[in-house]
Structure 1
């Protein structure tokens, strides 16, 4: 199903491993380590995450079983006893209960269908976080993790961690609609008010129980569903499915093949290509840096061992001096981040005070039924609107800080290049310090790849609402339902203040996390050229200590290294270009493996 993506990914990983091998042969150990840890290992470990969402009695679990091709999960479990299931590939069926405390306990696979929260297998470890199930299903074999969320009677009561954590972090969301009652009001409200903006772009709508329609009814019903969804989501993708027919063996008539075909193409082309493009961009930046090492090694051929040692010592002293400049940049980051955190805290306090001043009037003007039903939702919506506006401001401020820092580090890099050039006794072209030097998925570069605004919508905003929503929507609703208007005035402020107390530290934490990534990059980028040149020169010196090759032999070796690096760079560029080249609706085939390129590592001489 995802063979073409995995083939491309294997080629990208292979090219990056060749780059690691080249860096090691050059003596640039720090570059080799960075490419291995930040790129190769993360690509190897990557998974696609699919989240299935739907109201109770919409046939959700039956649908998940149909996706897997077997009746694995329990059907008919009530919302109060259901648990989140993480399904991933395993050669043999297995299961583990994962608790909020982090503790894991084994579960006989045959007990999975009978497992309920609070049942006989409850543990002193506390609340169950999720049930991890391994199964040899073809879909899961494609490095897909399927997350089955508990059905609820009303999607507005969906657990906050699912709405604001699982869904934003997923690669695709399968949103189930019941053919017998398409697009209930609660589903419309969830799509319009609850789903964070970017999450809407990755939803596939699955209409279950299509068997109840005649052919004419299906055409009419699907037209209605698409029309109504179009008011909430741009260009909705809708698939009618019969899970029962799929489980009974009639997959062609079930609609499942069409869904899986679209889903796998979406994962490979929309999500997978971005993942591979980021990795290749970082690999090309590493190749550019290695080019400086090849140049330094060529210059070393004209130096004696004693001269090499003297040059290495000069560059090491310059590196020590560079630490003062790096510390200045880090201090600037700390100062600006402290200011951002301070105004964010003030904004939160002002927001809470403003809402508290307005609440008595709002409650007085509402009737008792409105207070019972809508007060919690009103508070949650008000909080979400503020949080969305605030996170955009935070994103703008942090983006400006990052851009300024990048510009300063680029200037520093030019100064470093000049000094290293003098230490090597020649001209070294200043390095081009680009955003690519951020780690592509855990460093700041990832934030720029998807946009800071998007990152804060999906991460910071999601983190805030995951903490605040249970307090605002559930706590207030439960306490006020049977109480008077007076009680509402007492309890709503308590819930609002408690939500603010919870999210204040979360805002601080995530702003600081960004600052820490930027700080770490400043240290790495500020030392990178020094360290690579020092490593390469030391490797050349050690080689001289073992055997003293002729100057001509050394130059020939440098020429071979330059040629091999050029082939590597062309390979990475070709792979990157092929990701975005479309021919006849299909991704253009990837260029031949690096091993087929003459004079490249692993190729024929």
Structure 2
């Protein structure tokens, strides 16, 4: 009979096991120490991380503010959040910026946007690791930490990378969709990664204040069907909410608005989960992380043990053989990246082709419409004629270009998702092949533990074209006022025709250049990132083997000592693995 352990006992045991993992890693892989410390801290503080995640522009920051009934994190129409923001309970409202070098800086609330957003901190040029906010909320006082994450899939690919890298640290997730756009394939791919880490996912359909009841029901049914088809979850509940209305209700203490926001049902279920399941969910999450870290240690220890027990000449032969195999894989890597480079050039070529076609076909439309505009306003006074026509040209030009931009981005996004998806799968296959080769040559058991993080897709380019209402142009009035009325109108019309052509070319060029530059940067960064993952995998494997060879050169006593140490480490690793699995069975 297995004795059922209380929550506190299981938590203390798990902390002890994590400390033992950290001790064992000193001789194998110190790279995991930060991850171990993080899991220990979570348990010690009863910290349960609920991350608010989803594609960009789903209203995540507004949702968090609605949860806290205050304007805490910045909100905007454009993709804004660029840094992970961790919000936990504190007696006083306090904001601390934690930088990559671990230095900290306390800032006032009005400066938060300068560090947390893409606008204030483009591409994280200030080197922010994360932002910690303490806030006196009864909800957070229950041991809950809310995480505001950058949206995935925007043009700011470093934001996507940051969010993917944070996934191992979440316990539960609130996944936001919106009624104004359907579920995208890239969203489903991201959700599958979230489901591997989160012990609980709450699904919310946001922005329902923009739709009628029939449309909301249709969107809910559609989203639920897509989720059931793509996730291994038999029961899915989707909450229909409006974070905007909920925030207004919280700020105004408006009861009926709060009821109409859809939040009460979701909050009730969330609080029920927290009170009844949070403890076990936290233990499950930490156990999963610990087992992943153990797999990494076990592979490294078994590889080193096999290496030091192999005769030195044979070991050197195997290292040489492995390097040759790695070289073959390097050729495969180059071929794959060469194909990827060609595919990216095809996409950029399509952009240029579409751009030229758009300019040729649509400028003629604008010219024709402008002449009609002249006829309709010919009797206006010259000054009013100029002002009306300039506004007309500005609006029509920007509307036409913006319509093309949206259509073009949709097509380019779909194309880029296909090629980056294929590339990701091929690179993951190469990494797996590197590990399998090593395991086969040294006859050790292989359990996959390395997974590509971040840069899951290159798509969803975003261009924020701010209309310029006062383009630079010669002022026709400066000439026309000295001419007769009939001649003045001719001069003005000629100026306005020239201005139309100049501004159409200028705005088209701006859009094409912006999209082209962003796509180039995205594709190049993505390829570099994946190349680095392959390089680091090879270097870590060879480093373990060459370390073993160096030990063997120091003689038999050094080798025997290392063998004894590694066997003890492996025995301890297996014991830890068994103990953590036993805790998992009791949760």
Provide the TM-score with structure 2 as the length reference.
0.58
1:162 aligns with 2:173: no
Q: Structure 1 residues 361-370 or 160-169, which shifts more?
A: 361-370
Conserved? CA contact 2:205–2:220, under 8 Å: no
Match of 1:398 among 431, 452, 456: 431
- What count of residue pairs does the alignment treat as equivalent? 465
**Which residue of 431, 446, 461 maps to 2:456?**
461
Once the 2 structures are TM-superposed, how far is the Cα of residue 358 of structure 1 from its aligned partner? 4.6
Instruction: Give yes or no for the alignment of 1:196 onto 2:168.
Output: no
Contact in 1 for aligned 2:150/2:160 (Cα 8 Å): no
Selected match of 1:328 from 299, 320, 333? 320
**1:12 is matched with which residue?**
14
Distance 1:404 1:6, change over 3 A: farther
Which piece of structure 1 moves more, 516-525 or 262-271? 262-271
1:86 is aligned to 2:79: no
Residue deviations 1:538-566 (CA, integer Å, cap 9, x gap):
6999xxxxxxxxxxxxxxxxxxx99xx99
Distance 1:386 1:326, change over 3 A: same
Q: 1:573 aligns with which of 566, 570, 578?
A: 578
Match of 2:397 in 1: none
Aligned twin of 1:446: 449
Q: Distance in 2 between matches of 1:39 and 1:130?
A: 17
Match status 1:506 vs 2:529: yes
1:9, CA displacement in angstroms?
5.2
Q: 2:288 aligns with which of 274, 280, 295?
A: 274
Unaligned runs of 5+ in 2: 43-48, 363-399, 469-501
For 2:193 and 2:53, the matched residues in 1 are separated by 13
Aligned partners of 1:91, 1:529: CA distance in 2, in Å? 55
CA distance, structure 2, for counterparts of residue 534 and residue 434 of structure 1: 27
Residue in 1 that maps onto 2:96: 96
Q: Deviations over 1:368-417 (max 9, x none)?
A: 5453322233223312211111221222233223212211012xxxxxxx
Alignment partners' CA distance in 2, 1:574 and 1:49: 27
1:116 alignment partner in structure 2: 113
Shift of the 317–365 alpha-carbon distance from structure 1 to 2, 3 Å rule, reads: closer
1:130-141 pair list within 5 angstroms: 132-135=131-134
Note the C-alpha offset of 1:50: 1.5
Which residue is 1:184 aligned to? 180
RMSD over aligned CA atoms reads 5.9
Q: Does the 8 Å contact 2:28/2:301 carry over to 1?
A: no
Q: Which of 226, 242, 267 is 2:220 aligned to?
A: 226
Verify the 8 A CA contact 2:70 2:250 in the aligned structure 1.
Answer: no
Superposition map of 1:474-489 within 5 A: 474=463, 482-483=504-505, 487=509
Do the aligned partners of 2:308 and 2:563 also contact (CA within 8 Å) in 1? no
- Give the C-alpha shift of residue 229 in structure 1: 0.8
- Residues 172-204 of structure 1, C-alpha deviation per residue, up to 9 Å, x if partnerless? 542346xxxx6112xx26x34555353474663
Q: Which residue of 2 aligns with 1:375?
A: 408
Q: Return closer, same or farther for 1:43/1:372 CA change in 2, 3 Å cut-off.
A: closer
Cα distance between partner residues in 2 of 1:529 and 1:139:
58
> What is the distance in 1 between the residues matched to 2:355 and 2:88?
52
**Is the CA contact (8 Å cut-off) linking 2:53 and 2:174 kept in structure 1?**
yes
Question: Does residue 255 of structure 1 match 2:284?
Answer: no
Residue 135 of structure 1, CA deviation: 1.9
- Does the 8 A contact of 1:88 with 1:146 survive in 2? yes
Q: Is the 2:57–2:79 contact (alpha carbons within 8 Å) kept by the matching residues of 1?
A: no
* Aligned-partner Cα distance in 2 for 1:210–1:353: 40
**1:244 Cα offset (Å):** 7.2
Contact persistence 2:155–2:518 (CA under 8 A):
no
Over 3 Å counting, the alpha-carbon distance change for 1:390 and 1:54 in structure 2 is closer
In structure 2, relative to structure 1, the CA distance for the partners of 1:223 and 1:519 (3 Å cut) is: farther
Give unpaired runs (5+ residues) of structure 1.
22-30, 293-314, 411-432, 437-444, 448-454, 542-560, 582-587, 590-605
Which secondary structure state, in structure 2, belongs to the residue aligned with residue 230 of structure 1?
helix
Contact persistence 2:204–2:240 (CA under 8 A): yes
The answer on whether the counterparts of 1:377 and 1:473 sit within 8 Å (CA) in structure 2 is: no
Cα distance in structure 1, aligned partners of 2:421 and 2:215? 35
Matched, 1:338 2:361: no
Cα distance in structure 2, aligned partners of 1:91 and 1:103: 21
> Is the Cα–Cα contact under 8 Å of residues 98 and 129 in structure 2 kept in the other structure?
yes
Q: CA deviation at 1:20?
A: 8.6
In the TM superposition, what is the alpha-carbon distance from 1:483 to its structure 2 partner?
3.9
Q: Residue 205 of structure 1 corresponds to which residue in structure 2?
A: 203
How far apart, CA to CA, are the structure 1 residues paired with 2:37 and 2:264? 36
Is the Cα contact below 8 Å between 1:50 and 1:147 reproduced in 2? Answer: yes
Label 1:317 to 1:196 Cα distance change in 2 as closer, same or farther (>3 A). Answer: closer
Answering whether residue 130 of structure 2 is matched by residue 107 of structure 1, we say: no
Pairs within 5 Å for 1:287-366? 321=313, 324-325=316-317, 327-332=319-324, 334-355=326-347, 358-359=350-351, 362-363=354-355
Tell me the distance in 2 between the aligned counterparts of 1:16 and 1:87. 23
Closer/same/farther in 2, CA of residues 377 and 7 from structure 1, 3 Å limit: farther
Partner Cα distance (2:512, 2:217) in 1 = 48
1:280 is displaced (CA, Å) by 5.3
